[in-house]
Amino acid sequence: MFCIMVAGKSAKQTAQKLNLFLSKRENNESPLEYVDALLHEELGINLEQAMRNVRLGQYGRLKKAFAGILRFQGHLHEVSVEDLESINGIGPKTARFFVLHSRQNVRHAVLDTHILKWLKLHGENAPKSTPTGKKYAMLEQAFLTYAWKYEMNPADLDLHIWKQYSQK
């Protein structure tokens, strides 16, 4: 859920809002069970009202994406990037972000503004905002080549670059 919500927002603020949103769960309800109950209005409040109560923003996109991930409930650990991209509201960056940071030894690149800026500094024709389609695939491959060259896995190179830019 964090991967879906954080697109274009501060990670710290997003984490706080997600924690507040999920704090309303009852008993040992999983986050996806909570969303499912809200979608079916089993808790006296619907999903959009619950999101508005904690000011998540992007209500239409989040509602569609949260509803979409429910079909993978119980097996998110094995869902593919393509499966995630089939959900309305989840694009290549969000899908790869989830997979890259929820599994070991995955070969994907999360082309956020930090990575794009870094690729541009390394001579790649990278735009300022996240591309889609063939352009994403081309830049992802360039990033993976750099990771191999520097003998780093993609998640570690991503974190290294993020730390570089977050300190500036």
DSSP state of 91: -
Which of 113, 108, 109 is CA-nearest to residue 126? 113
| pLDDT tens, residue by residue, 82-110 | 999 999 999 999 999 999 888 888 899 99
- Nearest CA to 131 out of 152, 109, 153, 147 is that of 109
Domains of the chain with bracketed CATH:
2-100 (1.10.340), 113-166 (no CATH)
What's the pLDDT at 168? 62
Per-residue model confidence (pLDDT) at position 160: 93
CA distance 100 to 140: 13
Q: Global pTM? A: 0.84
Question: Residue 53's pLDDT band (boundaries 50, 70, 90)?
Answer: very high
33-45 tens-digit pLDDT = 999 999 999 888 9
What's the rounded Cα separation, in Å, for the pair 86 and 100?
Answer: 17
Q: How far apart are CA 13 and CA 4, in angstroms?
A: 14
**Predicted confidence band at 65 (pLDDT cuts at 50, 70, 90)?**
very high
The residue-averaged pLDDT of 73-88 equals 93
Residue 167 pLDDT exceeds 90: no
